Amino acid sequence: MPQDPLVVFTPSGKRGRFPAGTPVLTAARQLGVDLDSVCGGRGICSKCQISPGYGSFSKHGVTVHEGALSEWNSVEARYDAKRGLKPGRRLGCQAQIRGDVVIDVPAESQVHKQVVRKAASSRVIAMDPATKLYFVEVDAPDMHEPTGDLERLARALRREWSIDAIRADLTLLAKLQPTLRKGKFQVTVALHRAGADDPAQVLEIWPGLHEDGLYGLAIDLGSTTIAAHLTDLVTGEVKASAGIMNPQIRFGEDLMSRVSYAMMNPGGDKEMTAAVRDAINTLAQDIAGEAGIDARLIVETVFVCNPVMHHLLLGIDPVELGQAPFALATSNSLTLNARELDLSAINARAQVYILPCIAGHVGADCAGVALSEEPGKSEDLVLVVDVGTNAEILLGDRTRVLACSSPTGPAFEGAQISSGQRAAPGAIEAIRIDPDTKEPRFRVIGCETWSDEEGFFDEVGAGGITGICGSGIIEAVAELRIAGLLDDSGLLGSAEATGTDRMQAEGRTHAYLIHDGTDDGGPRVTVTQGDIRAIQLAKSALYAGARLLMDERGVDKVDRVVLAGAFGAHISPLHAMVLGMIPDVPIDKVTSAGNAAGTGARIALCNVAARREIERVVGEITKVETAIEPRFQEHFVAANAIPHKTDPFPELARVVSLPHPHFNTGGDGGAEGGRRRRRRA
């Protein structure tokens, strides 16, 4: 008997089989997918918009054919005619499942909006941007000295500002004459200078004195999220920060899945390029609106991104990055025009600078971290870890800097976790488990009160507890280990072995119950054995990458660790150490750098000399390719234990004493470990 069609929702990763004819909205509700609808599925509100994906999705084990959803119907056609639907969008209440399908729920269709935790960190930056404003008085035209308006503008800039040469494109020339005359030959121009010897590009011109400001975007284009900082190019002030999910998630949660999609689906790379450029335009419009500025005043954009995102942003097929020797189309920095990248939401003549890539798997985002954290200027040996779907790792001091990337996968982002979700209001983000009672207390995004404190459920509100995000699952696994509910091999014990009925049987394994909201129509939030394995794989890859760099330097210890990225600011050093995500160091030597890649982008946006500096630094970094290093697997296997199979972690032992239960998969759930645990209690 044929199976019902399989539906996979992204970015949540939730999946299930449903009879043909089931509306997508119905399937989403049954799976607990965050898909909005306020009209009861009548096709009126348009809140339930979805984007189906077609082709081969190796990561999900699904091939989606045309006809996977029912045909466009009259309700959708009517709505599209009145209000418009983006190309490829469907209404979830109208589209019915006909075959296996992958469905992306865009950010605007989610009830609980994504919290992109990549806010701009405070940083003193010497302001010397590539694009600046210049007010000039231009000579009026004279019949006795026939010269063009552009030439007289150039003469005024040379006379008043020592600008040797300028150039302008046709769109600027078209508005030059009316602007000069409206300003009575007094104008303000925005000039972009890529290098000291290059002619200055006239990006914009205004009549008279322009006082509405000049802005740039620093964009961290990540595998999972896209974060942007709208920055004043005169003062360096961050006027607004915003982020959205990377819509490419529907083509694959990790980088190699997207490369695979491009390989297996002709034109797949172009689909992903169009999707990410559209998202960047949406983000630019949103962030300008939030700051209350005209998006046409955004005249420069700086990008940091990993190599696959780099190629897909540029419209380059990433297939070569999926196989040795992992060749980049170019590793140099790039200066482009916004029109070349279809960035239509900002000034038409805006300039784009992309930081250099370090190697085939170590991208411009790692260069941004290097620019921000400057490991090459450190007196002590520092390990900088930018934790994400693809982790970038730097190790260095004044003598030498090394870099690698490590494929941690999306588990740290809350994906591939049974109760996992992206960071959004209602998601558990922090948790503590009492070692004696085994009872949890937790905090959710959007609520400062802990679950065992008075007024918690009132503060959480009607949205309730919705799941657990990346920082929450990391803390949960570490807390299970501290509480003796998880042994060092990563096995969860049974209720009998651990002495708590929060350990619940799931087939031959067990799960820890954090919260049961089923009585109120909410979810059961658990940590399953599968969740533990996903976190083990992610943290082992991260640790193994760091150890490879340490091997290259010939050291067994580092002096300090800097955690960068969203997780750096939201995971305690203690939990990171208990998991064995990072090498053992004193806890007070583990610090957070916030979104260091985004900070690097801001530095490059605000200081043109910093661009030359990072181009020089990248050329001196030693690249280590984890994919071909024979010791990577050895380190990976040893790091599967929590915190580690062979490293004793003496610094961790100074601050926490980890119990040593031993659970097994037999029928008693590891009673021996449980008995030893009770005697210690």
Let me know: does 446 contact 425? Beta carbons within 8 Å: yes
Q: Within a 13 Å sphere around the CA of 155, how many CA atoms are in the beta-carbon half?
A: 11
What is the pLDDT, as a whole number, of residue 570?
A: 77
CATH topology match: 6-109 vs 112-407+545-636: no
Q: Is 394 exposed, middle or buried (0-12, 13-18, 19+ CB in 10 A)?
A: buried
pLDDT, tens digit, 9 for 90 and up, residues 78-118: 888 888 888 889 999 999 999 999 998 887 777 655 555 55
- Intervals of the chain under pLDDT 50: 667-681
User: Which CATH code fits 112-407+545-636?
Assistant: 3.30.420.480
What is the pLDDT, as a whole number, of residue 272?
A: 95
Helix, strand, coil proportions of the chain in percent (round to 5)? 35, 25, 40
Give the whole-angstrom CA distance, residue 350 versus residue 303. 13
What is the pLDDT, as a whole number, of residue 38?
A: 67
pLDDT, tens digit, 9 for 90 and up, residues 126-163: 899 999 999 999 999 988 888 999 999 999 999 999 99
What is the pLDDT, as a whole number, of residue 675?
A: 37
What is the pLDDT, as a whole number, of residue 415?
A: 67
Q: How much of the chain, in percent, has pLDDT values that exceed 70?
A: 94
What is the pLDDT, as a whole number, of residue 670?
A: 44
**Stated pTM of the model:** 0.83
What is the pLDDT, as a whole number, of residue 565?
A: 79
Domain spans in the chain, listed from the N-terminal domain onward: 6-109, 112-407+545-636, 419-527+657-680
Give the whole-angstrom CA distance, residue 119 versus residue 475. 21
What is the pLDDT, as a whole number, of residue 194?
A: 79
What is the pLDDT, as a whole number, of residue 123?
A: 67
What is the pLDDT, as a whole number, of residue 224?
A: 81
What is the pLDDT, as a whole number, of residue 14?
A: 81
What is the pLDDT, as a whole number, of residue 519?
A: 83
What is the pLDDT, as a whole number, of residue 593?
A: 86
Other Cβ atoms less than 10 A from the Cβ of 332: the count is 12
Let me know: does 216 contact 131? Beta carbons within 8 Å: yes
- Give 503-542 as a DSSP string: EEEETTEEEEEEEE-GGGT--EEEE-HHHHHHHHHHHHHH
The topology under which CATH files domain 6-109 is Ubiquitin-like (UB roll) (3.10.20)
H helices of 433-522, where? 456-460, 470-482, 495-498
**Among candidate residues 256, 217, 523, the one with its CA nearest the CA of residue 405:** 256
Give the whole-angstrom CA distance, residue 426 versus residue 674. 34
H helices of 100-230, where? 149-161, 170-182
Let me know: does 624 contact 401? Beta carbons within 8 Å: no
Whole-Å CA distances, 443 to 19, 38, 104, 502, 515: 38, 28, 28, 18, 12
Say which DSSP state 249 is in.
G
